[in-house]
Amino acid sequence: MNSPTHTPSSASSSSPYMLRPPPCLPHAARNLKCPLPLPQTISTLQKKYSCFGAHVEASFNTNPLKNYTSARCSPNQFLNKQLFTEGSLATPTAQEFPDAALVGDDKIGVLLLNLGGPETLEDVQPFLFNLFADPDIIRLPRIFSFLQKPLAQFVSVARAPKSKEGYASIGGGSPLRRMTDAQAEELKKSLWAKNVPAKVYVGMRYWHPFTEEAIEQIKRDGITKLVVLPLYPQFSISTSGSSLRLLESLFREDEYLVNMQHTVIPSWYQREGYIKAMANLIEKELKSFDCPEQVMIFFSAHGVPLAYVEEAGDPYKAEMEECVDLIMEELETRKITNTYTLAYQSRVGPVEWLRPYTDETIIELGKKGVKSLLAVPISFVSEHIETLEEIDVEYKELALESGIEKWGRVPALGCEPTFISDLADAVIESLPYVGAMAASSNLEARQSLVPLGSVEELLAAYDSQRRELPPPVIVWEWGWTKSAETWNGRVAMLAVLLLLFYEVTADKGLLHQLVIWPSLR
């Protein structure tokens, strides 16, 4: 793709953004004074705009599946000029700004969103409680929503022993916090090296440091412009969507946050740097096999319940497939034309999840005579329990039992320099589009030049109705066939709900007797 350029003009001094923002969504596009087309196909448009005297040339990627338009630009030059030529700052260095991420009058923050994981075995049950108490993980019918927490308590207590075993086998806790902190530190360094002195925060959804803690720190630091960057390459309602929902509620409740300008990078699997970094890892790992060209590349993504995609419109599957295609295209340019496949792992409970399943696919490949597999975890950028235990131990064992002789696994991206540098570029490219939350009372914000209410709009685009979905998690399973399991699970789910309903209303019952539930008396 050509690298478009922005040519700032004198119009910039009063308005920080000369580029009419190609925002995330059609809604915002409608507000643009320089009209942006919304083509019906995935495409890249090279466009020249003349806005408020500023001549802008940018390329816009539009993806009808995601219903948003994103811009690729070469903003470094643009930003440096924009942000640093007004006399207030001249290309600062880390030493010059030890404590503040200042650009002009703005303090820039980047909020990395991630899942979080238990750091000790004692953390496992409360971590699971937080996860199952999330309506984006277990979505109960609205009339049962008051049962969300009791159900989360029940399910987390029931699942904890199995989960604990897993965490015990990888050293007694998740490496996620350590790895995400390291990524935050490297991202900060990369941003500063690119002349964007930003502070980087980590906000986890289900464990420390919680998103709420990060937000408090952001307020204490007086951040005025925030880029929200979920650390999931592909968007899912259950991951990035859930974190954005939480942010939405925090933003709504707080006057400081309502007025803080922000933008969200909802997914970034299609970025060149990320694709190249993944291809680098695969290329390197292939070389460890005796006959690299005979190895099947096995992309294994974390699954989501099928209903998320088919009923709630989760773009996760489409993004995942596109991501795999892009990586394979990149490998092809390097003359690597191995066979490949994509499957989904880590399903929980008896409902249907995205297919094909990783375990079933491994068995089938073994039957078909595949002898060498290279597993590529694709939905997450850190090592975690599902790479270290599920892939490295369970799937490897299954593969060897199924007749596969050679097994390899690509490491998670972690702090790989191409990847971190690309994340920094993604942040920088998003800065011109940092907008203000659309609050009905915030007239000034609504009239500002930049797109408004990004978190809100993204949620509206991806999961507007928040439809009820079959809960993905159940505490027990029985039955011999998948379909029987599904129905058994649904019946069991209903039974659990009725049981909990009885416990809550009667303040007595099985859970009270087992002292899992505190009596109100």
Ligand X SMILES: C=CC1=C(C)c2cc3[nH]c(cc4nc(cc5[nH]c(cc1n2)c(C)c5CCC(=O)O)C(CCC(=O)O)=C4C)c(C)c3C=C
User: What residue is closest to ligand X based on CB?
Assistant: 117
- Footprint on residues 461-480 left by ligand X (CB under 6 A): 472-473
The distance of closest approach from Cβ of residue 473 to ligand X in the complex, given in angstroms and rounded to an integer, is 5
Interface residue with ligand X among 54, 111, 226, 304 (CB under 6 A) is 304
Structure tokens at 95: 């030493």
At residue 466, what is the residue type?
Answer: R
* 134 lines the binding site for ligand X (CB under 6 A): no
357-360 — which CB contacts under 8 Å span 24+ positions?
A: 357/303, 358/300, 358/395, 359/394, 359/395, 359/398
The distance of closest approach from Cβ of residue 134 to ligand X in the complex, given in angstroms and rounded to an integer, is 9
In 3D space, the residue among 490, 235, 154, 464 whose CA is nearest the CA of residue 352 turns out to be 490
Q: Where are the beta strands (DSSP E) in 255-321?
A: 261-264, 296-302
- Cβ burial of 31 (10 Å; 0-12, 13-18, 19+) is middle
- Footprint on residues 380-409 left by ligand X (CB under 6 A): 380, 384-386
Interface residue with ligand X among 113, 131, 179, 196 (CB under 6 A) is 131
What are the angstrom distances between the C-alpha of 113 and each of 75, 177, 181, 457? Answer: 24, 11, 11, 18
First to last CA, the chain: 68
DSSP letter for each residue of 442-482: -HHHHTSSS---HHHHHHHHHHTT------S--S----SSH
Q: Decide the pairing of beta strands 225-230 and 106-114.
A: parallel
Residue span binding ligand X (CB under 6 A) among the ranges 23-31, 146-154, 214-222, 377-385 = 377-385
Residue span binding ligand X (CB under 6 A) among the ranges 52-60, 92-100, 236-244, 427-435 = 236-244
Nearest-Å Rg of the Cα atoms of the chain is 24
| Distance (Å, whole) CA 74 – CA 334 | 25
Interface residue with ligand X among 4, 21, 22, 117 (CB under 6 A) is 117
* 163 lines the binding site for ligand X (CB under 6 A): yes
229 in Cβ contact with 426 (< 8 Å): yes
The distance of closest approach from Cβ of residue 174 to ligand X in the complex, given in angstroms and rounded to an integer, is 3
428 in Cβ contact with 76 (< 8 Å): yes
Interface residue with ligand X among 56, 115, 312, 323 (CB under 6 A) is 115
| Distance (Å, whole) CA 25 – CA 36 | 11
Interface residue with ligand X among 232, 251, 274, 344 (CB under 6 A) is 232
Interface residue with ligand X among 74, 180, 211, 236 (CB under 6 A) is 236
Furthest C-alpha separation in the chain: 74
Output 20 or 384, the one with its CB closest to ligand X.
Answer: 384
* 318 lines the binding site for ligand X (CB under 6 A): no
The distance of closest approach from Cβ of residue 265 to ligand X in the complex, given in angstroms and rounded to an integer, is 16
Interface residue with ligand X among 4, 22, 305, 435 (CB under 6 A) is 305
Please count the other Cβ atoms lying within 10 Å of the Cβ belonging to residue 171.
Answer: 9
How many chain residues are in contact with ligand X, going by CB under 6 A?
24
Output 102 or 412, the one with its CB closest to ligand X.
Answer: 412
Residue span binding ligand X (CB under 6 A) among the ranges 97-105, 298-306, 327-335, 435-443 = 298-306
The distance of closest approach from Cβ of residue 127 to ligand X in the complex, given in angstroms and rounded to an integer, is 7
Residue span binding ligand X (CB under 6 A) among the ranges 52-60, 233-241, 273-281, 506-514 = 233-241
The distance of closest approach from Cβ of residue 113 to ligand X in the complex, given in angstroms and rounded to an integer, is 12
Phi-psi region of 230 (alpha: psi -120 to 50; beta: other; left: phi over 0): beta
* 174 lines the binding site for ligand X (CB under 6 A): yes
The distance of closest approach from Cβ of residue 179 to ligand X in the complex, given in angstroms and rounded to an integer, is 9
The distance of closest approach from Cβ of residue 24 to ligand X in the complex, given in angstroms and rounded to an integer, is 20
23 in Cβ contact with 62 (< 8 Å): no
- Footprint on residues 344-363 left by ligand X (CB under 6 A): 348
The distance of closest approach from Cβ of residue 301 to ligand X in the complex, given in angstroms and rounded to an integer, is 7
Residue span binding ligand X (CB under 6 A) among the ranges 185-193, 280-288, 301-309, 407-415 = 301-309
* 155 lines the binding site for ligand X (CB under 6 A): no
300 in Cβ contact with 358 (< 8 Å): yes
Output 393 or 510, the one with its CB closest to ligand X.
Answer: 393
Q: Which residues bind ligand X (CB under 6 A)?
A: 115, 117-118, 131, 137, 159, 163, 174, 176, 232, 236, 238-239, 302, 304-305, 348, 379-380, 384-386, 472-473
